[in-house]
């Protein structure tokens, strides 16, 4: 179900402005989180590169907001998708930059999933079960692989399950694992990464979660 044409045109024209404002706000929130957790940063030297981070955030918000505009069936759904896409964009940038997903963004996604229950496609109980099952499965995988999966990824999958429901979460996991695995293989073959290096899977889960809304 698409939005009314006159609403679509007006919203489309506003998307670059919304993306620019969101990029600045997300950059500020990310910096605050970094400063509160300096010991968790993988690459502290990148903290000063705020302009590049904001550019990535703006680009991600611009593209993902277009997806939200295309899929939203009402103003409320559009607002929910904007917040959802903003969080996913921040996750992609953070995890690529520092291999870290701040808890404040996971918490925001969890709260959004609970508040947006009336407009989300999947029913509440299946979403609860998907979030819990996803969290527990990835927690077990992290224990089996002895840290092969980061804590941020575990919490992200749980929050995504709560928002998406079982079907879309399964799509997200499959696409995220395959995409992350292929990229990791390329990095290993080109010797840009070692077998002992941590690979950030969060961005691939986040990108897959954005496209899962098309299902």
63 belongs to a structural domain: yes
92 belongs to a structural domain: yes
Mean pLDDT of the 39-62 span = 90
Domain region containing 195: 120-215
């809304």: which residue's tokens?
A: 213
Taking the model in full, what pTM does it have?
0.94
**Is-contact 11 78, C-beta < 8 A?**
yes
**Tokens found for residue 19:** 């993306």
11 belongs to a structural domain: yes
70 belongs to a structural domain: yes
48 pLDDT more than 50: yes
**Among 67, 77, 36, residue whose Cα is nearest residue 28:** 36
203 belongs to a structural domain: yes
112 belongs to a structural domain: no
C-beta neighbour count of 170 within 10 angstroms = 16
pLDDT for position 11: 79
pLDDT for position 164: 99
* Domain finish residue from 58, 74, 101: 101
Split at pLDDT 50, 70, 90, the class of 87 is very high
Same-domain status, 96 and 124: no
195 belongs to a structural domain: yes
* Domain finish residue from 101, 128, 149: 101
1 pLDDT more than 50: no
Same-domain status, 72 and 141: no
pLDDT for position 6: 46
> Which helix (H) or strand (E) is 7 found in, with range?
helix 5-36
Split at pLDDT 50, 70, 90, the class of 148 is confident
23 belongs to a structural domain: yes
């Amino acid at each position: 179900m698409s939005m009314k044409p006159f609403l679509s045109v007006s919203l489309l024209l506003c998307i670059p402005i919304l993306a620019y404002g969101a990029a600045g706000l997300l950059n500020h929130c990310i910096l605050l989180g970094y400063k509160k957790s300096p010991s968790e940063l993988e690459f502290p030297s990148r903290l000063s590169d705020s302009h590049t981070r904001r550019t990535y955030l703006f680009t991600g918000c611009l593209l993902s907001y277009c997806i939200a505009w295309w899929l939203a069936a009402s103003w409320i759904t559009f607002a929910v998708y904007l917040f959802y896409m903003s969080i996913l964009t921040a996750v992609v940038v953070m995890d690529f930059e520092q291999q870290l997903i701040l808890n404040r963004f996971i918490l925001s996604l969890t709260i959004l999933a609970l508040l947006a229950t009336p407009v989300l496609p999947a029913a509440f109980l299946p979403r609860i079960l998907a979030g819990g099952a996803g969290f527990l499965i990835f927690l077990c995988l992290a224990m089996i692989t002895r840290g092969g999966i980061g804590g941020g990824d575990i919490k992200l999958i749980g929050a995504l399950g709560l928002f998406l429901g079982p079907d879309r979460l399964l799509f997200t996991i499959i696409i995220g694992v395959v995409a992350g695995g292929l990229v990791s293989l390329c990095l290993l073959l080109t010797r840009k990464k070692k077998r002992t290096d941590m690979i950030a899977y969060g961005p691939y889960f986040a990108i897959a979660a954005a496209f899962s809304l098309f299902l």
